[in-house]
Amino acid sequence: MPCLTIPTQFGPLTLWEEDGAIVRLDWDGNGTDETPLLARAAGQMRAYDQGALQAFDLPLRVAGSDFQRAVCDQMALIPFGDTVTYGDIAKALGAPAQAVGLACGGNPIPVIIPCHRVMGAKGLTGFSGKGGVETKVALLRHEGAGGFLI
């Protein structure tokens, strides 16, 4: 599967493509594949990293259950700089908040599908990407959503 790694302030991010869609983003790898889609995704990621992009416009494919895809669809609706709770997403989907939390943790395309914008009922929770909660805080501060941390 073609992949491309780009340096960012959040660490080196590797974008993975399959059948014309971005299917994964992680902090592993040293991909050097330069497909048209990966080049476009890398450009958008660089723009996001520089504060010049607030919404990604890429074809995405989330593997997993219908519920996993539904949770990812809800997360994709959260605007740049905003946060919601697991309970908010659970209410929208008619599902338990704990199940939403597990699905958020299984998000295969973090940052682009902004699971970092989802909080627990009492505030900040974990993050499945490298660096855990520290990376989540860095992403939220980058988006100007870190006011709850003060």
Catalytic residue among 3, 72, 104, 115: 115
Tokens of 111: 């940052």
115 catalytic, yes or no?
yes
Catalytic residues: 115
